Structure 1
Amino acid sequence: MTGHEHGIWSLAMAVVDGRPVAVSGSHDETVRIWDLGDGRPVGGPLVGHNGLIRNGEVWSLATAVVDGRPVVISGGGSNLIQMWDLATGRHVGEPLDQSIGRMCAVATTVLDRRPVAVTGHVDGAVRVWDLVGREQIGEPLTGRTDWVEAVATAVVDGRPVAVTGSNDRTVRVWDLTDREQTGEPLAGHTNEVRAAATAVVSGRPAVVTGDCDGTVRVWGLATRRPAGEPLEAHSEVGAVTTAVLGSRLIVLVGSGDGTVRMWDPITGRQIGEPLEGHKGMVWGAATTLVDGRPVVVTGGHDKTVRVWDLTGLQAPVRGDTG
């Protein structure tokens, strides 16, 4: 799927009018929507990212449902955090606070029965936004010493949390109800943490993180300990996501060599052959179902969005089942 004029840095999934779509954000300062059933664009590009500073690249995207409507929250090189109605392609209200600086990462969750966005910024802060009231909730969550490049959300012991990765090489967990960091940072990465995704591993919540030296780590969010050994068979990691095939969890990692590789997080073994096709860094990856079949959608520096059918991997993979 082509149309972006520059590399694709972010991807998210949604369902619009009963059809699965991919949403892509690019260095070309646009957001595009793609119908995963036929691979065609849905409407024209969403434009309007030029903000208070020169760059308007779209670094990060996340989808949610607000007042019954599917929306996407986008931000990046400009000082604008914008929300778009995916059914109409129009802005939802005015951009969120323009004075906070550039947003590197965003994830969504539900807090007190209301949809919220959790954003990471170049100033090292994590911010929480009420997507209905369109306002920041409380003061920023701080403790970072460098850019927050990755944000993911999960539920631990019944409480919503945000997990963030930073250029300071740490992973931190934040209780979104009490608005405070829980425990000490998860340390072990030797380079900036660029990607994060949450999942359930062996029945317990976990986060998968990837860094610039090619290492992927799995952490138990309840135990706050590494779950197994690091996965170290990649060049620079650009994106991580997870999928469930049958009853088996897999981790998918996009990297600087243009490949997407699949791993069993319990055994630490690679599954099958790499998915090859991108030319250059894979910056975005997300999973969904198309016609009942599991797929991973990837976006890369080569300006393309690609869809990969994971159906053939559903057969059991030999090894420890945990």
Structure 2
Amino acid sequence: MATATDSEGAPLAITTSDDHTAIVWNTLSGEHLHTLTGHTGAVSAVATVTAPDGTPLAITTSRDETAIVWNTLSGEHLHTLTGHTGAVSAVATVTAPDGTPLAITTSRDETAIVWDLGSGRRLHSCFLRHPSDTVRAASNGFLVGYGPEVAYFTFD
């Protein structure tokens, strides 16, 4: 599950499911706002970040080897992020110093990929030597746990 706010500041929650979907909820009213459909496998993780124009974005990962970028206000599918060759198991987001929303995804294929969420473009990829199910945002980059090791990706 991940959280965001709508244009009026109401809190939103995005939940994932084995039924290949994610759902956007208004947590104040309990209203089901959108069902995010587009994955062909179970949705395993979700993270959120705000675009430079203020639009809240959600990024879902799936066993179908993809991640999808969504506009959480409209439910619109913005980009499909392809490049992993195994189930995509984790995602974290951060805003770069220049304002670009970024995500890092990790996969059972033993890779981590950093994405520009505005364009959907792959910026960097790294072979990890072990599958990873753990990734977290840090103040100036990302932390990735894999096997007995930890990698730190920075903006520098």
CA contact (8 A) 2:57 2:71 kept: yes
CA contact (8 A) 2:60 2:68 kept: yes
Distance 1:234 1:118 in 2: 31
- Partner residue of 2:142? 251
Task: Point out the structure with the larger strand share.
Answer: 2
Query: 1:169 aligned to 57, 65, 80, which one?
Result: 65
> Which residue among 105, 109, 123 is the counterpart of 1:227?
123
* Aligned counterpart, 1:160: 56
Out of 216, 222, 229, the position equivalent to 2:112 is: 216
- What is the RMSD computed on CA atoms of the aligned residues? 1.5
Structure 1 residue 175: Cα displacement: 0.8
Gaps of 5+ in 2: none
The Cα shift of 1:202 comes to 4.6
2:88 is matched with 193
Superposition deviation, residue 177 in structure 1: 1.6
Letter in 2 for 1:166: S
TM-score (norm 2): 0.91
Structure 2 residue 135 is the aligned partner of structure 1 residue 240? yes
Deviations 1:182-225 (A, max 9, x none): 14x11101101100000123521111100012100000011211
Gaps of at least 5 residues in structure 1 are 1-105, 267-320
Question: Aligned partners of 2:9 and 2:129: how far apart in 1?
Answer: 39
Partner SS, residue 197 of structure 1: strand
Identity of aligned residues (%): 33
| 1:19 corresponding residue in structure 2 | none
Q: Give the Å deviation of 1:235.
A: 0.3
Alpha-carbon distance in 1 for matches of 2:123, 2:17: 28
Say yes or no: does 1:179 pair with 2:70: no
Q: Please tell me whether Structure 1 or Structure 2 has the larger radius of gyration of its CA atoms.
A: 1
For 1:238 and 1:178, locate their aligned partners in 2 and report how far apart those are by CA, in whole Å: 29
What SS does structure 1 have at the residue aligned with 2:41?
A: coil
The one-letter code matched in structure 1 to 2:144 is V
Query: Hey, what's the Cα distance between the residues in 1 that align with 2:119 and 2:38?
Result: 21
State the 1:242 CA deviation: 1.7
Structure 1 position 143 matched with structure 2 position 33: no
Give the TM-score taking structure 1 as reference length.
0.46
